[in-house]
């Protein structure tokens, strides 16, 4: 008996799998590309906020590094400007800043110059003593992606991957430019860091609303029985942005919407919506399920690509009285660029739960508004007892139930169902049952970067992508990239401020469906 009744395993608070009361150990964070955009807009504001809320250890230091020549003081001044500018929904507090600024240091240097790594080594030693960072180091690679392998190699060459404490590396997206380069990059990084030390960031996985998909599905008993091919007719995942490429023309021209959004963010969102329940909520179990799902996505043949993938590029237009340039007129973009600023794909998941259900995924720049959501359309009732009167007075079968998981800017969940309209007769109308984060919880949600930075410091990679997940998601977009690389598109094919090219509507119409352009 006693051999069977084992005492419960002791919970290590740093590994608390449900991430309730996360305690973050002392550490130093080295940011490569510290004068870049990500650092200014996301990393430093998130770190400041975490410091303000005492969610990181007081024994903490940041060492920024990039080519720009700056002293520690100048780096602090620059970062102060960025933090006060980009702090979302939060006031800037001068006293907190003064303490936070004491944790910021800077090393100027070329990332391919070995001397830079010696200087980083030295600074790490200094902050370990002055800020008691316990030898724990988190490297953050936010440089141009083409430097990732080299930086990691040099970290290894200078033995910076080992020390008194733990060593981890966060790698920003894009992770590779295609399947081959992603595999190669994985191989290069594995020469220096163990998989358990590699944190590939996909900030969508850190969004509260994306994490809530798992709570919604697996914390409730009533939705999961419907969550399959018997009750779901199709799913639409939309990530629309009203902005254009915002000065990132050079990068974007080489990337395009399929690589920039669908290969990573939206395929991870799709996996979150469709994966099987993990047996335990921990990093390996959750990631095993995501990876398994991504491996079940049907790999298209070239002919399927023509049917199931649509590329678009925005042209110039007057929107809200403002003249907006087309993509080809944006700075650093070639006048005959073949880049997709819009991509729509129909995926099929070949497993028992989802066989035959189309997943329509789209993302585009310069759409009419910013909205990211997942719409799950359920099958119609077997018998149409109630007809619905449309706005034009026609009588039609009522619109089927729709569950919308709202990721941003509205954050919440809506369920559309039919209700009897008041009055005589059985007139039915769609109504909506809404949950809204703001009004239900009344507190600020942490940003994705705040969540993910804390997780990496605490050593929890649940919301980071693993090698097999990244390679599987490249695998599903690779056939599309290959066909598109050999296609000359008649771009531009949608005007700024519209919902994308007609071909994307036709793709859905072939299966009797329509995009929800709400």
Buried b (16+ CB within 10 A) or exposed e, 479-492: bbbebbeeeeeebb
Alpha-carbon gap, residue 139 to 121, rounded angstroms:
12
Closest CA to 303 of 42, 170, 480: 480
Residue whose entry in the numeric block shows the structure tokens 């009588």:
395
Minimum gap (Å) between residue 173 Cβ and ligand BG6: 6
Minimum gap (Å) between residue 261 Cβ and ligand BG6: 6
Q: Is 172 in the site for ligand BG6 (CB under 6 A)?
A: no
Residue nearest to ligand BG6 (CB): 260
- On the question of a cis peptide bond just before residue 492, with omega within 30 degrees of 0, the verdict is yes
**Residue 158 falls in the annotated catalytic set:** no
Binding-site size for ligand BG6 (CB under 6 A) equals 4
Minimum gap (Å) between residue 182 Cβ and ligand BG6: 16
Minimum gap (Å) between residue 447 Cβ and ligand BG6: 9
Is the CB of 206 or the CB of 501 nearer to ligand BG6? 206
Alpha-carbon gap, residue 455 to 474, rounded angstroms:
25
Q: Choosing from 131, 203, 234, 265, which is the catalytic residue?
A: 265
Is the CB of 253 or the CB of 296 nearer to ligand BG6? 253
Is the CB of 173 or the CB of 290 nearer to ligand BG6? 173
User: Contact letters (x/-) for ligand BG6, 201-240, by CB under 6 A?
Assistant: ----------------------------------------
Is the CB of 264 or the CB of 377 nearer to ligand BG6? 264
Contact 150, 33 (CB under 8 A): no
Q: Is 197 in the site for ligand BG6 (CB under 6 A)?
A: no
Is the CB of 143 or the CB of 372 nearer to ligand BG6? 372
Q: Is 260 in the site for ligand BG6 (CB under 6 A)?
A: yes
Distances (CA, A) of 10 to 6, 22, 281, 403: 11, 16, 16, 40
DSSP conformational letter for 422: S
Is the CB of 26 or the CB of 244 nearer to ligand BG6? 244
Q: Residue 480 in 3-state DSSP?
A: helix
Q: 94: buried, middle or exposed (CB in 10 Å: 19+, 13-18, 0-12)?
A: exposed
Minimum gap (Å) between residue 90 Cβ and ligand BG6: 17
Contact 265, 239 (CB under 8 A): yes
Minimum gap (Å) between residue 508 Cβ and ligand BG6: 23
User: Contact letters (x/-) for ligand BG6, 135-154, by CB under 6 A?
Assistant: --------------------
Per CB under 6 A, the list member of 241, 340, 411, 460 interacting with ligand BG6 is: 241
Distances (CA, A) of 320 to 240, 317, 496: 18, 10, 11
How many degrees, rounded to 5, is the angle at CA 36 between CA 134 and CA 118? Answer: 45
Catalytic residues, by residue number, are 265
- Positions touching ligand BG6 (CB under 6 A) are 173, 241, 260, 372
């Amino acid at each position: 008996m006693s051999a069977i009744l084992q005492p419960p395993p002791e919970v290590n608070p740093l590994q608390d799998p449900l991430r309730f009361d996360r305690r973050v150990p002392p550490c130093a964070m080295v940011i490569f590309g510290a004068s870049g955009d990500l650092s200014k807009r996301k990393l430093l504001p998130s770190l400041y906020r975490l410091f303000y809320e005492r969610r990181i250890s007081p024994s903490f230091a940041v060492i920024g590094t990039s080519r720009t020549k700056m002293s520690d003081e100048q780096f602090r001044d620059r970062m102060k400007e960025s933090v006060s500018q980009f702090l979302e929904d939060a006031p800037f507090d001068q006293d907190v800043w003064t303490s936070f600024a004491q944790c910021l240091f800077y090393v100027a240097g070329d990332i391919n110059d070995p001397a830079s790594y010696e200087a980083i080594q030295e600074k790490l030693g200094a902050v370990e003593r002055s800020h008691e960072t316990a030898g724990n180091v988190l490297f953050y690679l936010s440089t141009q992606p083409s430097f990732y392998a080299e930086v990691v190699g040099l970290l290894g060459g200078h033995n910076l991957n080992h020390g008194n404490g733990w060593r981890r590396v966060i790698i920003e997206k894009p992770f590779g430019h295609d399947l081959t380069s992603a595999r190669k990059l994985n191989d290069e990084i594995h020469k220096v860091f163990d998989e358990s030390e590699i944190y590939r960031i996909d900030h969508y996985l850190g969004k509260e609303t994306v994490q809530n998909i798992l709570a919604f599905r697996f914390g409730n008993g009533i939705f999961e029985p419907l969550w399959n091919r018997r009750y779901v007719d199709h799913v639409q995942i939309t990530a629309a942005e009203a902005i254009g490429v915002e000065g990132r023309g050079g990068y974007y021209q080489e990337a395009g919407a399929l690589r920039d959004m669908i290969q990573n963010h939206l395929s991870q969102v799709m996996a979150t919506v469709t994966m099987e329940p993990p047996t335990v909520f921990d990093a390996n179990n959750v990631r095993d399920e995501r990876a398994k799902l991504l491996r079940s996505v049907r790999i298209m043949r070239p002919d399927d690509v023509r049917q199931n993938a649509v590329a678009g590029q925005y042209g110039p237009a007057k929107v809200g009285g403002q003249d907006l340039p087309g993509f080809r007129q944006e700075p650093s973009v070639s006048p005959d660029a073949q880049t997709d600023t819009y991509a729509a794909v129909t995926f099929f998941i070949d497993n028992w739960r989802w066989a035959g259900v189309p997943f329509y995924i789209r993302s585009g720049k310069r759409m009419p508004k910013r909205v990211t959501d997942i719409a799950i359309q359920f099958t119609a009732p077997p018998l149409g007892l109630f007809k619905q009167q449309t706005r034009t007075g026609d009588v039609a079968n009522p619109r089927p139930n729709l569950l919308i998981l709202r990721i941003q800017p509205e954050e919440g969940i809506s369920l559309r169902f039919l209700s009897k309209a008041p009055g005589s007769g059985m007139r039915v109308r769609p109504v909506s049952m809404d949950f809204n984060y703001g009004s239900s919880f009344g507190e600020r949600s942490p940003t994705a970067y705040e969540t993910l930075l804390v997780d990496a410091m605490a050593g929890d990679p649940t919301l980071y992508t693993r090698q097999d997940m990244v390679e599987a998601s490249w695998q599903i977009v690779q056939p599309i990239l290959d066909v598109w690389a050999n296609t000359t598109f008649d771009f531009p094919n949608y005007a700024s401020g519209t919902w994308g090219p007609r071909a994307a509507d036709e793709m859905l119409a072939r299966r009797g469906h329509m995009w929800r352009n709400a």
